[in-house]
């Protein structure tokens, strides 16, 4: 598993990517999570996108206070979720924010 975290202007992790290592030296983006924060800097809302290689997508949105969990299923084109396993020090392919 390869994890990538992106910080906002307040040094909070607002976006994370999780890639699964495949046998072929390839990574597949299995999950992206976006977080929103309240005025106190605590997570107020989190949305996770869980991707499968067959094109299935589960979207899970969790509001913290009051607690509320919503889920939706969809499909997507998985071709853009594959990345070549990066060479040491060259991580530009897995640190792209816009996917």
pLDDT tens sequence across 12-49: 999 999 999 998 789 999 999 999 999 999 999 999 99
Q: Structural domain of residue 15, as residue ranges?
A: 2-84
Q: Does residue 6 lie in a domain region?
A: yes
As a whole number, mean pLDDT of residues 41-64 equals 98
Burial 13-26, CB ≥16 within 10 A → b, else e: ebebbbbeeeeeee
Distances (CA, A) of 46 to 8, 16, 70, 90, 94: 15, 11, 11, 29, 21
- pLDDT number for residue 45: 98
How many folded domains does the chain comprise? 1
Asked whether residue 89 is domain-assigned, the answer is no
Whole-angstrom CA distances from 11 to 5, 18, 21, 74 are 11, 19, 28, 32
Report if residue 96 sits inside a domain.
no
CATH number at residue 74: 2.40.128
The dihedral over CA atoms of 56, 84, 13, 44, expressed in degrees to the nearest 10, equals -10
Write the DSSP symbol of residue 55. S
In a domain, 94, yes or no: no
Flag whether 61 is in a domain.
Answer: yes
Cα atoms in the Cβ-side hemisphere of radius 13 Å centred on 62:
10
Residue 17 domain flag = yes
Classify residue 15: in a domain, yes or no.
yes
Percent of the chain with pLDDT strictly greater than 90: 81
Is residue 92 in a domain? Answer: no
């Amino acid at each position: 598993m390869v994890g990538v975290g992106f910080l906002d202007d307040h040094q909070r992790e607002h976006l994370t990517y999780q890639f699964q290592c495949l046998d072929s030296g390839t990574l597949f983006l299995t999950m992206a999570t976006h977080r929103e924060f309240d005025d106190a800097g605590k997570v107020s809302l989190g949305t996770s996108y869980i991707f499968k290689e067959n094109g299935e997508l589960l979207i899970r949105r969790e509001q913290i206070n009051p607690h509320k969990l919503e889920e939706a299923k969809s499909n997507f084109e998985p071709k853009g979720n594959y990345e070549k396993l990066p060479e040491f020090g060259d991580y530009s392919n897995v640190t792209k924010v816009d996917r």
